[in-house]
Chain A
Amino acid sequence: MAAVTADQKTQGTADTADAEHLAAFDAAVAADDRIEPRDWMPEAYRASLVRQMAQHAHSEIIGMQPEANWISRAPSLRRKAILMAKVQDEAGHGLYLYSAAETLGTSREELLDKLHAGRQRYSSIFNYPTLTWADVGAIGWLVDGAAITNQVPLCRCSYGPYARAMIRICKEESFHQRQGYELLLALSRGTSAQHEMAQDAVNRWWWPSLMMFGPPDDSSAHSAQSMAWKIKRHSNDELRRRFVDICVPQAEALGLTLPDPDIRWNEDLGQHDYGAIDWTEFQEVLKGNGPCNEQRLAQRRMAHEEGAWVRDAAAAYADKHAARPGTAGAAAQHVEATA
């Protein structure tokens, strides 16, 4: 009864090949080599990267909304130019990241459909509202600051296209972070009404920014595997504490107070301790019960649906003119391919 079927033989050969591939993959990750799009990779690694890169790309484009909310009301032309350029950079980051995700065999259209259907996430931070001008500064200082703390290690991520996209993104993000800090500094040193506006914004954005590092290490669903694959390099709690250490002296320099009476220097750790985070709020926002979840997704869907006729037109035009030189065909095809 030990007859081996042809199928089983093929399977056996495939298993051997997979085992060799896996050994090569593991060795590459262990040696800190980059995994490139054409390299063999475990399906779970690919899926994990697509999930993370999609979430990151979606965060960039949803993240445009709370800041775009203030473009029309920016209080000086200089600030208006800075803010428009920043929101434009976020659209650009979305483009790099969707392109990087495409190297894993997924299209931008597919990922956007999943976002619109609520099947892929974006960073929960963008489900909080921007209520005053100072929120633009607080987002730059705290939210972009937290994002950089998270993202700088991604420049060494094991997947090549993601790591390279992150190098460029991190340069621009650190520029945004300085601009946000500088905006808050102007408010903090301005009139008492401006100072109060800045403090109020920091009060509202501080805790949600700490939550951006994700759940505590002992309850983080994806952390252990991502660290083994060197997609992720540091734990959520390590990064969160690093962020607090960065912010404490900056808040002092700004003349603003972080809304946590339990922040204090821990001699033994050589780091700051901070107060308990309200994880119930985090879970609620994640579930869709944050102040702006519905609004953000609704605006995204609306822009997409209202733009459908434009994308259709570009595709139809490209089809008609593909063979004719000297027309807008080439550009239109690009829109079609990426829409």
Chain B
Amino acid sequence: MTAALALGDDALVLSHRLGEWAGHAPVLEEEVALANIALDLLGQARMLLSFVGDEDQLAYLREERAFRNVQLVEQPNGDFAHTIARQLYFSVYQHLLYEKLAAGQGEFADLAAKAVKEVAYHRDHAEQWVLRLGDGTAESHERMQRALDALWRFTGELFEPVEGVDVDRHALRDGWLAAVTSVVERATLTLPSGPQSGAWAAGAGRQGLHTESFGRMLAEMQHLHRSHPGASW
């Protein structure tokens, strides 16, 4: 239950944020790509939430404190570099995690086996853009570095234990760090050096503690559904 909610909420919330790009992307190919990633994640979220209960009740009728996603995925889109930094940090984590889950015998093995193919594409998309932005122009380099720095303190939470997710989280963190470091260096960028968690925030999203913008995101997402109690759509 806890695991399906945690992984499902990660996918649901990141999908929502990516959906906010529709009509605003820097180039038409990215309208297609970002929507594609958002749709993959929404599909994963729906399967994961359905392990727990009714997908719409879970998405639309829970209060902010009941969501179990990491704070990283709820961070606002910012500029394109921020969105790409968030994609890099999350998709590398999700790819490594789903590879392990797919190879195991747990309840998520089938789902992870399907999702890992999608997530491999998300990861590739993020990595290619980190390379282009890091090693592009002076402006893009600066923006990409700023974005990596700004979101770094939300990455520690990815490796907090989640009940029911049976993976070696130290190995997961090592693999993640090696992969992210490799991309960041190839992009002529610098791996952020600060702490990977804020002083107060460690493990917070998984325990239902979120950041201020998340409440506003949920208010928008849930408003219509909640305005018509019991209606079907």
Contact = CB atoms under 8 A, between A and B. Distances in A.
Interface residues of B, number: 51
A299 B23 contact: yes
Interface of A: 61, 64-65, 68, 71-81, 84-85, 87-88, 91-92, 94-95, 98, 108, 133, 183, 186-187, 190-191, 193-194, 299, 302-304, 306-317, 320-321, 327-328, 331-332, 334-335, 338-339
B170 interface: no
Interface string B11-54: 01000100110111111111110011011001101100100000
Nearest to B136: A313
A69 to B, nearest CB: 8
Contacts of B45: 77
Nearest to B229: A191
B233 to A, nearest CB: 4
B193 interface: no
Contact of B224 (A73, A78, A91, A331): A73
A338 B29 contact: yes
B27 A335 contact: yes
A313 B132 contact: yes
B28 A61 contact: yes
Contact of B140 (A133, A183, A313): A313
Given A85-B39, A98-B28, A309-B139, 18 more contacts: A61-B28, A64-B31, A65-B23, A72-B221, A73-B224, A76-B60, A81-B39, A87-B23, A88-B36, A91-B35, A309-B137, A312-B136, A312-B137, A331-B128, A332-B128, A335-B29, A338-B27, A339-B27
Interface string B138-165: 0110010000000000000000000000
17 contacts: A73-B223, A77-B42, A77-B56, A78-B233, A81-B39, A84-B35, A91-B32, A95-B29, A98-B28, A186-B232, A194-B228, A307-B27, A310-B27, A312-B139, A313-B132, A313-B133, A316-B137
Nearest to B84: A310
A91 B36 CA distance: 11
Given A77-B45, A303-B26, A335-B29, A87 B135 contact: no
